[in-house]
Amino acid sequence: MDLALAPEQIELRDLARQILTDRCRPEHLTEIAATESATDLDLWRTLADAGLVGIGLPESAAGGGYGWLETAVVLSELGRSATPVPGFAVMALAAPALAERPDLLDGVASGSRVVTAAIHEPNADPWTPTTAAANGRLTGTKICVPHGTACTSSRQAPTASRSNDRTRRPGFPMPSSRSTARRETASVAATPSLISSVTARRAPLSWSPA
């Protein structure tokens, strides 16, 4: 069995490595780590312009239409360089969960919109969430949301109901804003709590009826 990368995948890896080698120098990483979001959105948009952010998204969402292996190639390079971008949150968590809803993926491939997955709750059991959607309203609290303060969209998309069915993905892949995000189809607000720069990559978010 040949487990080597295909030539096209090698080119993808080399492109990502070249961009990241040029940008992810120790002094730059230290500078970004000191910011509120600890996220380099300029670099994220550079990766998007190169077609790397949307490599695994469907073409209907302006993505590359490739599979998990190509996405993993890019994510491996992001990890290799300790890149301060929301690669895992977007490319591995939220975007795949929203793949069948291209209307919720507008701007993700271009890097202008950042989506993430809000899974964990204060009760520490993602399989029995208290955050719930009912009658078009979303209420509850999620903690440790990856890159929660860097998200820019204003729609929430629940992907699992409140149940103990462990065959379904728990949580709410969702985008938010730095202050208050409103779901466009319901009167719901999401307000991130204040957090220190040390934990800024994983923000607590709360929803309550507006």
**pLDDT value of residue 203:** 59
CA distance 112 to 89: 15
Please give the average per-residue pLDDT across 98-114, as a whole number.
89
State the DSSP H helix or E strand holding residue 134, giving kind and residue range, or none if neither.
strand 132-134
pLDDT tens figures, 49-88? 999 999 999 998 999 999 999 999 999 999 999 999 999 9
pLDDT tens figures, 123-162? 767 677 788 778 877 788 888 888 877 775 434 434 333 2
Is residue 48 within 8 Å of residue 110, measured between CB atoms? yes
pLDDT tens figures, 173-204? 443 332 223 333 232 333 333 332 233 355 56
**pLDDT value of residue 127:** 76
At the top level of CATH, which class does the domain 7-101 belong to? mainly alpha
- 209 — pLDDT class (breaks 50, 70, 90): low
Is residue 17 within 8 Å of residue 52, measured between CB atoms? no
- pTM of this prediction exceeds 0.75: no
Q: Where are the domains of the chain?
A: 7-101, 116-209
Is residue 61 within 8 Å of residue 4, measured between CB atoms? no
Top-confidence residue, 31 or 202 = 31
Residue 117: alpha-carbon gap to chain centroid: 6
The length of the chain in residues reads 210
